[in-house]
């Protein structure tokens, strides 16, 4: 069986994350990626986890507490506010940013990521990423709103300068709906736009 896109995304992020790094979960949801990032950067690193929804922040908080993880700053704000929220010392030093779009499984399906703030947050994430850092985005074209969001994300990433960013796409499996897509963006080391 093919691994799930969430596992592939964690694998790709795990390849570049080491203890002491900064990392961002842009859509904390139930906290699975936040816990993964927290463990990967270890006590010397720090994770910033964003979600607009109280239920998601609470779920993530209790998952972290259960595992005794203390290196996460939970932020109940839109990921579009990423840059104004992060402390200045993190800029250009973030090793990984993870997005899992759509709505919270088992939660309020009316709260979902939206194209304009998603694109703004992706641009912000790319600006704070360090050289060699990785951005992962899982998009779900199978639901209303998710289809246009997935197309918009794909177009947006296709427009990035290829000397600065490498973009890959992995298609997942879905029983009923259009298959989810994982986008992996790597900020090229020693690129022309490398300012770190
Ligand atoms: N679709 C995925 C889970 C996505 S969870 C799956 O099936 O596994 C997406 C999370 O993004 C939700 O918890 C939701 O509250 C959050 N979210 C929605 N808009 C957001 C925004 N603008 N900023 C940060 N988080 C947001």
The CATH number of the domain holding residue 94 is 3.40.50.150
- What is the number of the ligand 1 atom nearest to the C-alpha of 100? 4
Q: In what order do the strands lie in the sheet with 181-187?
A: 72-75, 46-50, 22-25, 94-100, 129-139, 181-187, 165-171
Tokens of 82: 């990423």
**Most ligand 1 atoms within 8 A of CB, residue of 5, 34, 53, 85 to mutate:** 53
pLDDT of residue 90: 95
pLDDT of residue 82: 97
Residue 139: strand pairing partners: 181
Q: How many domains does the chain have?
A: 1
pLDDT of residue 174: 77
Tokens of 165: 């960013």
Render each residue's pLDDT in the chain as its tens digit; 196 residues: 677 999 999 999 999 999 999 999 999 999 999 999 999 999 999 999 999 999 999 999 999 999 999 999 999 999 999 999 999 999 999 999 999 999 998 888 899 999 999 999 999 999 999 999 999 999 999 988 899 999 999 999 999 999 999 999 999 987 777 899 999 999 998 645 544 4
Tokens of 19: 């203890």
Burial state string for 136-149 with b = 16 or more CB within 10 A and e = fewer than 16: bbbbbbbeebbeeb
Q: Name the residue among 121, 157, 152 with its Cα closest to residue 27.
A: 121
Tokens of 38: 């927290």
Residues 6+ apart with CB under 8 A from 41: 17, 18, 19, 20, 21, 22, 23, 47, 71, 95
Q: Provide the residue range defining the domain that includes 22.
A: 5-195
Query: From CA 138, how far away is CA 25, in angstroms rounded?
Result: 12
196: three-class secondary structure by DSSP: coil
Which residue ranges have their beta carbon within 6 Å of ligand 1?
27, 29, 50-53, 56, 78-80, 100, 102-105, 111-113, 117, 140
**Which run of H or E residues covers position 22?**
strand 22-25
**Most ligand 1 atoms within 8 A of CB, residue of 103, 115, 144, 178 to mutate:** 103
**Most ligand 1 atoms within 8 A of CB, residue of 6, 76, 104 to mutate:** 104
């Amino acid at each position: 069986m093919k691994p799930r896109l969430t596992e592939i995304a964690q694998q790709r992020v795990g390849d570049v994350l080491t203890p002491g790094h900064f990392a961002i979960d842009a859509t904390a949801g139930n906290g699975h990626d936040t816990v993964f990032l927290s463990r990967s950067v270890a006590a010397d690193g720090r994770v910033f986890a964003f979600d607009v929804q109280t239920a998601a922040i609470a779920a993530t908080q209790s998952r972290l507490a259960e595992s005794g993880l203390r290196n996460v700053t939970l932020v109940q704000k839109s990921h579009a506010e990423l840059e104004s929220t992060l402390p200045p010392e993190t800029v250009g030093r973030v090793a990984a940013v993870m997005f899992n779009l759509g709505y919270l499984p088992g939660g309020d399906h009316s709260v979902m990521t939206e194209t304009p703030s998603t694109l703004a947050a992706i641009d912000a994430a790319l600006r704070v990423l360090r050289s060699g850092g990785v951005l992962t985005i899982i998009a779900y074209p199978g639901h209303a709103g998710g289809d246009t969001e997935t197309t918009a994300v794909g177009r947006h990433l296709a427009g990035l300068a290829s000397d600065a960013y490498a973009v890959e796409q992995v298609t997942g499996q879905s029983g009923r709906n259009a298959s989810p897509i994982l986008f992996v963006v790597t900020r090229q080391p020693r690129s022309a736009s490398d300012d770190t």
